[in-house]
Amino acid sequence: MRRLGQQVIAAATTLSFLFLMVHTTLAADPEIDRLIRGPVGKDWVTNGGNLTNQRYSTLKQIDTTNVAQLKGAWMTRLKGSGAAGKYSFEASPLVKDGIMYVVTGNDDVFALNAKTGTIIWEYWSGIDQRISTVCCGWVNRGLAMGEGLLFSGQLDANLVALNMKTGEVVWKTPLEKWENGYTITSAPLYYDGIVYSGISGGEFGVRGRLTALDAKSGAILWRSYTLPGLGERGSETWPPGTDHSTRGGATIWNTPALDPDLGLVYFATGNCGPDYDGSMREGDNLYCASMMALKAKTGEYVWHFQQVHHDIWDYDAASPVVLFDTVIDGKPRKGIAQAGRTGWVYILDRTDGKPLIGIDEKPVPQDPRQKTAKTQPIPRGDAVVPQCAELLPGYEKAGCIFETFWETPVLMQPSGIGGTNWSPVPYSPDTGYFYVPGTVRTSAFTRFGDKYVQGLRYTGGSQSAPIGSPMSGTFTAIDGTTNKIAWQHKTPYRIGGGGGSSVTAGGLVFRGEPDGNFLALDAKTGKELWRFQTGFGADAPPVFYEVDGEQYVAIATGGNQLQGSAYGDAVWAFSLKGQLGPLWPPPAPQTVAGPTGPIAAGADAVRIGANNIEYSFAPARMRIKAGSTVTFTNVGDLPHSATSMDRGKWDTGVMVKGQSKAITFAQPGNYYYICLPHPWQYGQVIVE
């Protein structure tokens, strides 16, 4: 990380040098640079609103006094793009000069008239539907724009630039190959001629990195790895003489933030790999589950803060980092915050990465087999979700956030599927609050060995919510000066998994719910002021814009498979002059983990991924006679398995599309099973 020269190919160094010379005098796109350096006004030109990722708009035509009158101005269906069970719709639309740009879970991009919703052009990505290295739903978390181009990171690991006027491809640069485990799910960031992109693949034994490209040509300027090479800074936190760090994960799930005055680009990193097996990677394992700052021009390391040492719980820092300015003890401070799956908000000084409010290293449970870290950093203040699990029938042990586990399942919260996951966290300079969505659910963790094979899952264990365990959420205002709860709502559904919210100078927080409702809350008190049924899972983070003097609020409603909400392909825009009323509600998400649906009697086959519901068993529940054989066939697009909840009992193994495996159930009993790659996918065989 320290020596840029090692990471940059010679040609690119020369190129970027020339490029920097030019850019010190003349910005490539002064208008976009100005817009994303300043407060968000009538346009919303980058995923997080501006370079801070605050998702705070200065528009205030819609405010606490009139929001109750808000109605739909228009609703547009995106021609079925991304409308199937394997997709999530997590992108914020971008808006500039009355035109909206939105990307779906299939990486298809649409330009719409932001006043009427009429489609102006379409870009169909044509991405390979056989991509097998997507861990957590087919998703694109948003676009960036600059120099007349739109930038989109695709699941096939290509970064694409489209002409903003026509949707035509101007350049396409592969950052990696999906066959090797790499995908792109994050929104890129454009600033000062450079496009920054993260990369995903933390469940597939990959090496995380931030890649910087020349916006005009698509040439790669530099790559800054989040895992050290041999002898590099941080390599001492991996076992000496091994190459575990080269496949240790630390991917970048989300849009970076950038401070132009400090010249730093910031992001957070994902879990260590293999996720649940720390036995062979003794040490803190930098820079997994960390916040990082690099020099924005060169990618050179500046500072890091690791949230979870030697992560064995899948505690990714998946939500985007947020930059904010505040006053603490009478002194103005430059802050950076990130909400983790741990349930805490980590608040640091963005000049040096030191805690702003206080984060204390405290002793945690130990298991020498997992080579657990002696201490973990515990932020002062409040967690937004419960951090201990209750014991459930059928389990021997339940523990808290950093409990250890080996081969016997151990229950824990928040777990790697709880807390704040990919959802962004808005910040309002008016209230000084962060608005933090969280998921409340229990996971049963087990470790088993995994051999590294390039391009295949490499997790070393599993976590899944126990059958019958409750799943819900929280929405919390956290005071940025104390890291304490100002107000908190319990929500009926999971909302930290990619659902979103944004905040305005009109004193309003807007957020969607997985049951299709779109809400406006008083940002200061949390009081609900407006609610509208959109008809589809309303999970994506909303945005604000203005056309012809009228303020709009827009949200993509396309569901989120991790939150269990109904899929769709709609974009809604609301305004005070809107005329459209609510739609019929979609099916509500599950609030209890486990298989659902009627019990099929006499069936002898289970189809996985059937009926356009990728993460499903059909039938999910069945009753058979002892001695019967059930044939499991994968008819979906992605690799799936049927694996006994007690993994030792039976397992089809991971099957690609078209593969089958027959399992004979000799003994009467109640057999629950999951899909190992997608442990929220449940089935049940009742044997009589």
- Token readout for 278 is 């720390």
Distances from the Cα of 375 to the Cα of 372, 378, 401, 419, angstroms? 9, 9, 12, 20
Please tell me what DSSP assigns to residue 24: H
Closest to Cu ion by CB, 441 or 640? 640
Q: CB 108 → Cu ion: shortest distance, Å?
A: 23
C-alpha 59/C-alpha 47 separation (Å) is 17
- Token readout for 622 is 């069945």
Longest dimension (CA), the chain: 78
Cα first-last separation, the chain: 60
When CB distances to Cu ion are compared, the closest residue is 675
Q: Tell me the backbone φ, ψ of residue 93, rounded to 5 degrees.
A: -65, 150
Q: Tell me the backbone φ, ψ of residue 522, rounded to 5 degrees.
A: -70, 120
Closest to Cu ion by CB, 304 or 640? 640
Q: CB 670 → Cu ion: shortest distance, Å?
A: 21
β-pairing, 682-687 vs 669-674, is: antiparallel
Closest to Cu ion by CB, 43 or 637? 637
Closest to Cu ion by CB, 580 or 605? 605
Q: Tell me which stretch binds Cu ion (CB under 5 A): 62-70, 77-85, 444-452, 672-680.
A: 672-680
Amino acid at 586: P
For residues 340-379, one letter each, b for 16 or more C-beta atoms within 10 angstroms of the residue's C-beta and e for the rest, the string is bbbbbbbbbbbbebebbbebeeeebeeeeebbbbeebbbb
Beta bridge partners of 207: 249
C-alpha 270/C-alpha 285 separation (Å) is 12
Helix, strand or coil for residue 21?
Answer: helix
Closest to Cu ion by CB, 155 or 519? 155
Closest to Cu ion by CB, 164 or 630? 630
Closest to Cu ion by CB, 173 or 681? 681
Residue 214 catalytic?
no
C-alpha 629/C-alpha 609 separation (Å) is 20
Closest to Cu ion by CB, 371 or 640? 640
Give how many residues touch Cu ion by CB under 5 A: 5
- Token readout for 23 is 């850019």
Q: CB 653 → Cu ion: shortest distance, Å?
A: 12
Beta bridge partners of 478: 434, 485
Q: Tell me which stretch binds Cu ion (CB under 5 A): 130-138, 163-171, 263-271, 668-676.
A: 668-676
Task: Write a three-state SS string for 410-444.
Answer: EEECCCCCCECCCCCCCEECCCCEEEEEEEECCEE
Q: Tell me which stretch binds Cu ion (CB under 5 A): 46-54, 307-315, 558-566, 675-683.
A: 675-683
Going along 168-253, which residue ranges are E strands? 169-174, 189-191, 194-197, 209-214, 220-225
Q: CB 681 → Cu ion: shortest distance, Å?
A: 5
C-alpha 350/C-alpha 305 separation (Å) is 10
Find out whether 552 and 74 touch, Cβ atoms under 8 Å: no
Which residues in 633-662 contact Cu ion (CB under 5 A)? 640
Contact residues for 24 (Cβ-Cβ < 8 A; gap 6+): none
Closest to Cu ion by CB, 50 or 200? 200
Contact residues for 582 (Cβ-Cβ < 8 A; gap 6+): 72, 532, 533, 534, 535
Please tell me what DSSP assigns to residue 236: G
Q: CB 294 → Cu ion: shortest distance, Å?
A: 35
Q: CB 251 → Cu ion: shortest distance, Å?
A: 20
Closest to Cu ion by CB, 247 or 678? 678
Distances from the Cα of 99 to the Cα of 44, 119, 160, angstroms? 10, 10, 20
Amino acid at 16: S
Closest to Cu ion by CB, 192 or 614? 614
Q: CB 675 → Cu ion: shortest distance, Å?
A: 3
Which residues in 89-148 contact Cu ion (CB under 5 A)? none
Q: CB 607 → Cu ion: shortest distance, Å?
A: 12
The region, left, alpha or beta by phi > 0 then psi within -120 to 50, assigned to residue 234 is left
- Annotated catalytic residue, options 43, 107, 275, 314: 314
Distances from the Cα of 495 to the Cα of 16, 105, 137, angstroms? 41, 18, 15
Q: Does 675 bind Cu ion (CB under 5 A)?
A: yes
Q: CB 593 → Cu ion: shortest distance, Å?
A: 15
Find out whether 364 and 405 touch, Cβ atoms under 8 Å: no
Closest to Cu ion by CB, 216 or 678? 678
**Which residue in 75, 141, 81, 148 sits closest to 110, CA to CA?**
81
C-alpha 187/C-alpha 424 separation (Å) is 12
Place of tokens 């800074």: 233
C-alpha 687/C-alpha 406 separation (Å) is 30
Which residues in 543-602 contact Cu ion (CB under 5 A)? none
Radius of gyration of the chain (CA): 24
Q: Does 55 bind Cu ion (CB under 5 A)?
A: no
Among 333, 678, 682, 684, binds Cu ion (CB under 5 A): 678
**Which residue in 134, 133, 125, 139 sits closest to 84, CA to CA?**
139
Find out whether 70 and 61 touch, Cβ atoms under 8 Å: no
Closest to Cu ion by CB, 633 or 681? 681
Within 13 Å of residue 148, how many CA atoms lie on the same side as its CB?
Answer: 10
Q: Does 398 bind Cu ion (CB under 5 A)?
A: no
- Token readout for 248 is 């240790």
Place of tokens 């990618």: 299
Question: Which residues form the catalytic set?
Answer: 314
Give contact residues for Cu ion (rule: CB under 5 A).
Answer: 640, 675, 677-678, 681
